[in-house]
Amino acid sequence: MALKNDCFALPSGVSWTPVDDALADLRDRLSPVTPVETLPLGTGQGRVLAQDIPAPISLPPADNAAVDGYALAHTSLTPEGEQHLALREGRAVAGAPFDGMVGNGEAVRILTGAVMPDGTDSVVMDEDVERDGNAIRFGSGLKPGANSRKAGEDIRAGNIALPAGTRLGPAELARLASIGIASLPVHAPLRVAIFSTGDELAEPGEPLLSGQIYDANRAMLLALAKAQGVEAIDHGRIPDRPAAIASALGAASRAADVVIVSGGASGGDEDHVSRELSRMGAMALWRIAMKPGRPLALGQIDGVPVFGLPGNPVAAFVCFLIFARPALQRLAGAAWPEPVGYPLTAKFSAKKKPGRTELLRARADGTGGVEKFRSDGSGLIGGLVWSDGLVMLDHARGPVEEGETVCFLPYAGFGLT
Ligand code: AMP
Ligand code: MG
């Protein structure tokens, strides 16, 4: 399903858009673009469900024992004193139910996972029982239903086991397997083409000429994209020439469902990405009130969304996590992910102007505190390596004093390790 070409247009005359507004806009305008296919359960890892999956059975399918012991009817017991029950011959084992009815005053041997025999509702566990030939003895106080698992306590037949948009990991695959689902309606992987722009960029492994720097963003963005469970496609390094950028944008938009470009997006003399994007399809420069981050160029070419990220690696990293990541998840058919954050105590102070969101490279100290990287506002890749998350200072807040509570977003919450 192609996006409308003006889907990223912003109202004209608006100056700096708050992060939350920009995210709400993106969220409203994006929808899944990948086709749906059916896969066997065993190959579903990492895929996104394309339909709600109702449970065809209840789980557990029948009441069953949670421990090894003796199954009985709770009505056989007296409130006080020692309990004596006659032991039936035979037993109930997982996979081989007891065949027969257990009467009042009787008990039958049962092992964990065995279906509760007819007439029983509770299990007294081995550790509490004295066996005495064909009888068992134990103390009073067993609760009704004790040590038994109820049919449907995990899920009931007909309820939604997993909703459309769920990304399938080990737990989700276990849930589907447990209710007997063998084939899965899933989205095809989202194809994301990624290239870097800049005359100054050299390829790692090649000699560095005067004035050059190595292309750090491409390796970073390919890895960031892969961590989102999408298919990341390397479209190389493109010089700052309009024709080269136009042809790279064209090739990438034909090869992929989404394009991510770094550099050249902010409207300066050598910023050909935004210009070529406007010429080839549609483009809006989103001036987002966020630090780090410069304008984001959002556009489409023949319905394929293009994200123009800042060239500065730190800004590209943060813009990817905050904007491109939820967008990719949504385009891939997954639910829009909210960032995972929790409150920690600032072990630092920081200047902060109300009126923009700031994201600091930060590290949790493991005892409830969080530190920030020694140098903020800089483009140091070392700060990305040092940090294990971002402190997010929201739009309205002012400076941070040491000891105040701040919101920490661990990289793990963005799917990174
Ligand atoms: P730009 O957004 O193209 O103006 O680039 C902003 C800054 O980021 C400049 O200092 C660029 O040299 C640097 N930069 C751009 N692309 C990359 C890249 N792929 N790897 C490392 N640094 C980059
Ligand atoms: Mg550049």
Q: What is the DSSP-derived secondary structure letter of residue 43?
A: G
Q: What CA–CA distance (Å, rounded) separates 361 from 371?
A: 9
Q: Give the model confidence (pLDDT) of 9-54 as tens digits.
A: 655 555 788 999 999 999 999 999 999 999 999 999 999 999 999 9
Q: Which residue's CA is the nearest one to ligand 1's atom 10?
A: 312
Q: Domain boundaries in the chain? A: 16-34+189-331, 40-56+158-187, 64-149, 342-414
- What pTM does this model have? 0.90
Q: What is the DSSP-derived secondary structure letter of residue 49?
A: B
Q: What CA–CA distance (Å, rounded) separates 71 from 228?
A: 49
- Token pair listed for 140: 């009073």
What spacing in Å lies between the alpha carbon of 248 and ligand 2's midpoint? Answer: 15
Q: Is 262 in the pocket of ligand 1 (CB under 6 A)?
A: yes
Question: 412 by DSSP, 3-state: which?
Answer: helix
Give me the pLDDT at residue 84, please.
97
Give me the pLDDT at residue 330, please.
97
Q: What CA–CA distance (Å, rounded) separates 312 from 198?
A: 11
Q: Is 203 in the pocket of ligand 1 (CB under 6 A)?
A: no
**Which amino acid appears at position 186 of this protein?**
V
pLDDT > 80? residue 242: yes
For the ranges 19-23, 268-272, 361-365, the one whose mean pLDDT is highest? 361-365
Q: Which atom of ligand 1 is nearest to the CA of 200?
A: 12
Sign of CA dihedral 22, 28, 34, 38: positive
Indicate the pairing of strand 17-18 with strand 288-291.
Answer: parallel
Q: Give the model confidence (pLDDT) of 280-338 as tens digits.
A: 988 888 889 999 987 889 999 999 999 999 999 999 999 999 999 999 999 999 999 99
Alpha-carbon radius of gyration of the chain: 30
Helix axes 272-280, 242-255, angle to 10 degrees: 60
| Residue 128, CA distances (Å) to 65, 83, 124, 137, 144 in order | 15, 11, 7, 9, 16
Residue carrying the six token digits 């009817």: 73
Report yes or no: 30 and 187 within 8 Å, Cβ to Cβ: no
Report yes or no: 155 and 137 within 8 Å, Cβ to Cβ: no
Q: What CA–CA distance (Å, rounded) separates 118 from 134?
A: 20
What is the mean predicted confidence (pLDDT) over 124-130?
Answer: 97
Residue among 340, 220, 380 at smallest CA distance from 372: 380
> Residue 372: pLDDT band by 50, 70, 90 thresholds?
very high
Q: What CA–CA distance (Å, rounded) separates 145 from 158?
A: 25
What is the mean predicted confidence (pLDDT) over 111-133?
Answer: 97
Residue among 143, 147, 106 at smallest CA distance from 126: 147
pLDDT > 70? residue 8: no
Q: Give the model confidence (pLDDT) of 88-97 as tens digits.
A: 999 999 999 9
Give me the pLDDT at residue 388, please.
97
Q: Is 216 in the pocket of ligand 1 (CB under 6 A)?
A: yes
Q: Which atom of ligand 1 is nearest to the CA of 218?
A: 19
Sign of CA dihedral 280, 306, 230, 226: positive
Q: Is 313 in the pocket of ligand 1 (CB under 6 A)?
A: yes
Residue among 300, 343, 336 at smallest CA distance from 23: 336
Give me the pLDDT at residue 12, please.
53
**Which amino acid appears at position 184 of this protein?**
L
Q: What CA–CA distance (Å, rounded) separates 179 from 156?
A: 10
Give me the pLDDT at residue 300, please.
93
pLDDT > 70? residue 108: yes
Residue carrying the six token digits 């050909």: 272
Q: Which atom of ligand 1 is nearest to the CA of 312?
A: 8
Q: Can you give the three-state secondary structure of 213-279, one letter per residue?
A: EECCHHHHHHHHHHCCCCEEEEEEEECCCHHHHHHHHHHHHHHCCEEEEECCCCCCCCCHHHHHHHH
Give me the pLDDT at residue 213, please.
98
Q: For the chain, how many residues are written?
A: 417
Contacts of 62 (CB under 8 A, 6+ apart): 115, 116, 151
What spacing in Å lies between the alpha carbon of 240 and ligand 1's midpoint? Answer: 11
What spacing in Å lies between the alpha carbon of 263 and ligand 1's midpoint? Answer: 5
Q: Is 312 in the pocket of ligand 1 (CB under 6 A)?
A: yes
Q: Residue 350: count other Cβ atoms within 10 Å of its Cβ.
A: 17
> Residue 193: pLDDT band by 50, 70, 90 thresholds?
very high
Question: What topology is assigned to 342-414 in CATH?
Answer: Beta-clip (2.40.340)
pLDDT > 60? residue 2: no
What spacing in Å lies between the alpha carbon of 308 and ligand 1's midpoint? Answer: 12
Question: What topology is assigned to 40-56+158-187 in CATH?
Answer: Molybdopterin biosynthesis moea protein, domain 2 (3.90.105)
| Residue 330, CA distances (Å) to 32, 337, 411 in order | 6, 8, 19
- Token pair listed for 347: 């072990």
Question: Which of 213, 273, 309, 378 gets mutated to test ligand 1 (max ligand atoms within 8 A of its CB)?
Answer: 213
Mean confidence (pLDDT) of the chain:
94
| Residue 369, CA distances (Å) to 215, 346, 391 in order | 34, 6, 11
The CATH number of domain 16-34+189-331, selected from 3.40.980.10, 2.60.40.1180, 3.30.70.20, 2.40.180.10? 3.40.980.10
> Residue 266: pLDDT band by 50, 70, 90 thresholds?
confident
CATH number of 64-149: 2.170.190.11
Q: What is the DSSP-derived secondary structure letter of residue 16?
A: -
